[in-house]
Structure 1
Amino acid sequence: MSHDLWIHKFVDGKPADVDLDVVRAVLQPHSAESRPPLVRDDGGLAIWIHASDGGDADLLAGSNSILVERPAGGEILGIIAELTARLAAVIIDPRDGAFICRAEERAHLPAEYQQDAVVIEMTGPAVQNATTGPPRH
C-alpha cells in the first residue's frame, strides 16, 4: 500500500473517542524497538509498528482518530484490522472516502454513510482487498 488510512469510531451516528489503552495493548507487541512509542503533548500516541514479514507503518493516535501512515500490505494490515475490530471502529480510505467496517460498526455510522459502507470481515486480507482495489466512487 502507498496511501494513508484513518481509523474512526462512531456511536449512534456520532464520532466517539477511541480507547488509547486498547491502542497501546494492540500495538505495543508490534512496536519497533528502535523507535519506542511516544506520548505526545496532547496525550495522543505516536507509534511505529513493524511486522515479522518486514512491513511497517507509523500510527498517530489521538482521542478521536488514528492516522495510519503508509501501511505496508501483509501482516501490517492484519494488525490494523485487529486494532480496528478491538476498538469497534471503522477504517476510512481517503482515496474515495469509503467507510470500511464490520456489520456491527455499520449500524453506528451516521445514517447518510451506512448504505455505501463497505462491510467486510475485519482481517488483514479483507482490509487489503478493500483498500487496494479501484476507488468505489
Structure 2
Amino acid sequence: MGYSPSVYKFAEGSDVPVPLDLELVRAVLEPHDVGDPRLCFDQDGGLQFWIRAGDGGEAEIFAGDSGILVERPRAGGVFGIVAEPVSRLGAVAVDPSEGRIVCRAEEYAHLPVSMRKDAVVIEMTGERLGAALLGGHPG
C-alpha cells in the first residue's frame, strides 16, 4: 500500500473544501512533469502529473476541483515541489494515515474547528512539509 497525502483548501471554517485554481496547479507542476504530456488531462477535466525532483524523488499527482492527491511521494526534493502549490493555493496537506493536517499559520484559521486540534503549523518548505507528513519533527 502506498502513502498518499492529499491537498485541500478550506475557507472560513467550513468543512467543505473550496475549488482549487487548476491553472495555478498546472503552471507549478507542469515544469516538473516527466510523464506523457498527452495524459495531463483526464476525462473528467482533472490534471495528472508524474513529477520528478532533481534528487530523483518522484510522485504521481492527480488534481481536481476539490483537491490534489499525491501518490507515493519519496522523501526529499519532491516535497519541495508539492509545497509550492500548497503555499500558493493557500491550501493544507493532509496525512491520511495519521489524520494530521499540515498548514501555514495563514491557513490554520480557515480550517474547520474539528481539524484544528490535529493541525501542525509550519513554514511551508519542502523539508518541513516532508518532515511533518513523514512523522519527523517539522522544526
Superposition map of 1:96-135 within 5 A:
96-133=98-135
Structure 2-normalised TM-score? 0.90
Between the two proteins, the alignment pairs up a number of residues equal to 132
Displacement, 1:115? 3.2
- Who is 1:64 aligned against? 66
* Aligned pair partner of 2:57 in 55, 62, 71: 55
Superposition map of 1:1-137 within 5 A:
3-14=3-14, 15-32=17-34, 34-36=35-37, 37-133=39-135
Structure 1 unaligned blocks of 5 or more = none
Indicate the SS of the match to 2:10. Answer: strand
Indicate the SS of the match to 1:84. Answer: helix
- Give the whole-Å Cα distance in 2 for the aligned partners of 1:121 and 1:97: 19
**Larger fraction in strand:** 1
Displacement, 1:70? 0.3
Structure 1-normalised TM-score? 0.91
Indicate the SS of the match to 2:54. Answer: coil
- Give the whole-Å Cα distance in 2 for the aligned partners of 1:95 and 1:116: 12
**Aligned AA (1:7):** V
Identity of aligned residues (%): 49
Displacement, 1:83? 1.2
Root-mean-square deviation over aligned CA pairs: 1.3
